[in-house]
Structure formats: C-alpha cells, structure tokens
Amino acid sequence: MTDLSGKHILLGVSGGIAAYKIPNLVRLFKKSGAEVQVVMTQSAAQFVSPLTLATLSGRSALTEIFPDATNTQSAWTTHIHLGEWADCFVLAPATASTIAKLANGYSDDMLSVCFLTMRPNKPKLIFPSMDGEMFDAPAVQRNLKTLEQDGCVIVEPEIGELASGLIGKGRLPEPEKIFERVVEALLPKEKTLAGKQVVVTAGATREKIDSVRFISNYSSGKMGFALAAVAAELGAEVILITGKTHLQTPPNVHRIEVESAEEMFRETQRYFPTLDLFVAAAAVADYRPAEVYAGKLKKSSESLPLHLVKNPDILLEFGKQKKPHQVSIGFALEIQDALENAKAKLVLKNCDIIALNLAQEAGAGFEVDTNRLTLIFRDGTIEQLPLQTKRAAAKMIFKKANFFFQKSSLTSL
Ligand code: PMT
C-alpha cells in the first residue's frame, strides 16, 4: 500500500446512500499512515454514524461550526486551522445539494466552511454520487463545471445499479479507487512521458452488415481510456483513436472516434511516422462483411450466409515500418494456449511488449474496471502484474515502456 505518512486529509461527507462506503475509505487512509479529519453534513449523519467515522479516524467527526458553547477548548475557528492543516480536500459522496453550496460559496455548515478555507494550491477532489437523472440535470452539471473552473478535480461517477434500482451513471467508486485518486493527487507525478507522442487505440470496432446492423465485440474502451488518461498525466501528447463508447475523454487527450477497423487503421496510420509509443488496446475486428447491404436486409430466407474478408491488422502494419526509437505495446485477449498465442503475436507484430489478459478470468478483460495482465517482453521475460484497476495497470505499463526509451537514449549517445 502507498505510504501517505504525514499527509493530512480533510474528508467531507455529504448525505447520500453511498456514504456507507466511507468507513472503509477512512480505514484505507489510516492504514496508509495519513491523518484524516472527517467533516460531515447533518444529512450525512443520517446515512453513516459520526461515531463510526470518529472511531476509525481517531478524531471527532465534525458537523457544527459552533461545536459546544460551554466548552472553552472547542474553538469556533477550528475550520480556519483545518484549511491550513489539510494537504487535500476530498468530498465523497458529493450530493447535488453540497455541490451547489460549494459552487456558490455558501458557508453555512462545517463542511462548506472548511472547503472555503482550503489553501488555493491544495488539491480538492469531488466525487459526485446521485441518481443518474440528477447527475445529468443542467444545474448539477453547471455547478460541477464551476467547481472545475475553480480548480477542483471532478471524478466522474460510475455506471451501475443505483439506490433507486435503476441502472445509470451515479455510483460512487469503491473506496480503493477513491484512495488511488487521492494518492495521485497527493504525491507528485513525474512527467516521464514529456515530449513523447503516444497513440492509443481503444474499444471495439463495428463492421457493418447493412445500414442498421454490425458485427462487434464486448470491448468497452475502459482499458484504452485508462492508458490514454495516464499517458496524458505523465506529460505525453496523447492521441486516442477509439471505437464508439460512452466514456468521457480524459483531460489533455485528443480523441478521434472511428467506427470500422479500416477507419481505425486509416486514422492511426497518419501517426505512424511521428509517434514515439503505440499502445494497441483496441479489440479490432479481424474480419468484416465483404459487402455492406444498402438499406435493411429483409428476413426472407431460413439462413443468410455472410461472406467475411480480412481487415487490416493495425499493429502488424505498424510493426513492419517501426523505426528503431519507436516502441509498440500490443494486447492479447486469449482463452486457450494463452501464453503461446501471446508470444506468437509479439513476434509476428514486432512489439516490444504484449500485455496478455484472459477473457474468462473474473475481474479481467472486457468491460470491467480492473485487469490482470501478464507482460511478455521481446527478450522472453515474463512479468505477472496483480489484479488491479485499469488505471493502475496502465501506470505499470508506462513504467516498463520508459525502460525502452531510456535504453534507446543511451544507445544514441
Ligand atoms: O475495452 P475494455 O472493455 O476495457 O477491454 C479491454 C480489452 C480486453 C479489449 C484489452 O485489454 C485487450 O485485450 N485488447 C486486445 C483485444 C484483442 O482481441 O486482441 P487480439 O488478440 O485480437 O489482437 C492483438 C493485438 O493486435 C491487439 O493489440 C490489437 O489491438 C491489435 N490488432 C488486432 C487486430 C487488428 N486488425 N488490428 C490490430 O491492431
């Protein structure tokens, strides 16, 4: 676990059902060595007990600006000292109401007043969590934009089952993920990819059968988007060439949306001469229908043979023209003979690394937020990465890619 000893986290909790996750978040912070001060709204106390949070954090969970008039030890200026004390402000869950307060400078409870006293250079992370319709409401989006403009980091909620029973965007990420984002905000990032052009392919391609139907696969784009986000944070110029997906473009990433493998090839090929690092995380269809029927195919016969032809292999084509300073990382999603197949792909496509993931493994591969990758290197070395978030896996991949850049800069001396 990352060591956060000596770090002070001011943890704001507002009143949403997802507050039930916060005791575990406090435990993670404490385990990492950080000091945690909880400030919570009155309605948050309806969902999670202040006593629980106080016990786990080792500090009273504060709700009142004026704590106890009869106690001369409890100062009404506590909030000002907390703004000075904190290395980071985290609001999780952030409800629509608290978001509105913070965006408009209200200071009528301990949480909002602490937010205002935060020193300007300290990171402030907001984790909205609410019903999907509420999250999309123009007022909420407007308030989040305001907070972003004020320098807060807004961490998108996840899609999944909500308290209402509906499926939508609004779930608070699990405590481990919140912890990871806070670590990133607190610990300085090395811009190890500064000056590098990184091209990432992501998601699934769609191969048209007729005007309304296509062949595709289950790739959500999450792995590719995580790679693009991390590469941008590491200072790279990032071009993300992606199949259709609802995922939001990460900050400082140039997104190019494509539909078919041929289109993805055309767009990616434009960067072949200039890119420094090519990461092919897309699940590109190997075949496409030989003919696309104009209009909608009619249901007239019992069977309908579909004649497929081979698509261009983007990674393979790049491998053929790769310059000595360029690095390429491919992915392999396998079911049987995984290691052998992945090794063969590394050689065939002239990659520096192949990241193997298993389609049938729980928590890995398509659609999920986590992955367990086996990295296979050109010299035959194999490294098994743990099951971790796709962001964390992306970070490890770029750490490895850096060795190749360091090696090539040494040989060019
Ligand atoms: O998007 P997610 O839901 O997060 O899922 C992530 C993922 C499972 C899609 C990803 O981790 C992954 O494994 N991507 C590669 C999937 C794959 O099917 O690879 P492949 O074995 O078909 O191809 C090997 C490599 O060649 C890949 O890097 C692929 O991008 C590339 N390729 C393949 C075919 C083709 N026509 N062009 C290519 O560039």
Q: Give 22-68 pLDDT, tens digit per residue.
A: 999 999 999 999 999 999 999 999 999 999 999 999 999 999 887 66
Q: Which protein residue's CA is at the shortest distance from atom 18 of ligand 1?
A: 283
Rounded Cα distance between 285 and 290, Å, is 13
Last residue of a domain, one of 119, 153, 186: 186
CA of 348 to the centre of ligand 1 (A): 15
Does residue 296 fall inside a structural domain? no
- Residues 132, 33, single domain; the answer is yes
Most distant pair of Cα atoms in the chain: their distance: 87
- Residues 280, 162, single domain; the answer is no
CATH number of the CATH domain containing 101: 3.40.50.1950
Average pLDDT over residues 340-369: 97
- Residues 136, 204, single domain; the answer is no
- Residues 207, 277, single domain; the answer is yes
Residue 233 has pLDDT above 80, yes or no: yes
Q: What is the separation of C-alpha 44 from the centre of its chain, rounded to a whole number of angstroms?
A: 27
Atom of ligand 1 nearest to the CA of 330: 28
Q: What is the chain's Cα-based Rg?
A: 24
Please tell me the chain's helix, strand, coil percentages from 3-state DSSP, rounded to the nearest 5.
35, 25, 45
Determine contact, residues 108/24, Cβ cutoff 8 Å: no
- Residues 61, 143, single domain; the answer is yes
Rounded Cα distance between 257 and 288, Å, is 18
What are 177's two structure tokens? 């993920």
Q: How many domains does the chain have?
A: 2
CATH number of the CATH domain containing 202: 3.40.50.10300
Q: Which of 333, 340, 353 to probe ligand 1 with, by most ligand atoms within 8 A of CB?
A: 333
Rounded Cα distance between 257 and 275, Å, is 18
pLDDT tens digits, residue range 277-317? 999 999 999 999 999 999 999 888 899 899 999 999 999 99
Does residue 345 fall inside a structural domain? yes
CA of 267 to the centre of ligand 1 (A): 17
Q: Which residues are paired to 288 by β-bridges?
A: 309
Atom of ligand 1 nearest to the CA of 357: 13
Does residue 301 fall inside a structural domain? no
Does residue 382 fall inside a structural domain? yes
- DSSP string across 54-96: HHHHTSPPB--SS--TT-TTS-TTHHHHHHHH-SEEEEEEE-H
Determine the pLDDT at residue 50. Answer: 96
Determine the pLDDT at residue 379. Answer: 92
Average pLDDT over residues 211-229: 97
CA of 283 to the centre of ligand 1 (A): 4
- Residues 205, 169, single domain; the answer is no
Atom of ligand 1 nearest to the CA of 329: 28
Residue 217 annotated to the active site: yes
Residue bearing tokens 């209009």: 295
Rounded Cα distance between 270 and 202, Å, is 16
CA distances from residue 360 to 3, 106, 169, 220, 339 in whole angstroms, order as listed: 34, 50, 26, 16, 14
- Residues 264, 141, single domain; the answer is no
Q: What is the separation of C-alpha 41 from the centre of its chain, rounded to a whole number of angstroms?
A: 28
Does residue 101 fall inside a structural domain? yes
- Residues 165, 235, single domain; the answer is no
CA of 104 to the centre of ligand 1 (A): 45
- Residues 107, 171, single domain; the answer is yes
- Residues 209, 178, single domain; the answer is no
Atom of ligand 1 nearest to the CA of 268: 39
CA distances from residue 238 to 7, 171, 194 in whole angstroms, order as listed: 31, 28, 11
Last residue of a domain, one of 186, 211, 238: 186
Average pLDDT over residues 185-212: 94
Does residue 254 fall inside a structural domain? yes
Catalytic option among 217, 341, 350, 402:
217
Last residue of a domain, one of 140, 165, 186: 186
Determine the pLDDT at residue 72. Answer: 52
Does residue 192 fall inside a structural domain? no
Please confirm whether the linkage preceding 93 is cis (ω < 30° from 0). yes
CA of 329 to the centre of ligand 1 (A): 11
Domain that holds residue 334: 197-290+306-411
Determine the pLDDT at residue 322. Answer: 97
Pocket, ligand 1, Cβ cutoff 6 A: 201, 203, 219-224, 261, 280-284, 286, 311, 313-315, 330-333, 345, 357, 365-367
Contact residues for 66 (Cβ-Cβ < 8 A; gap 6+): 76
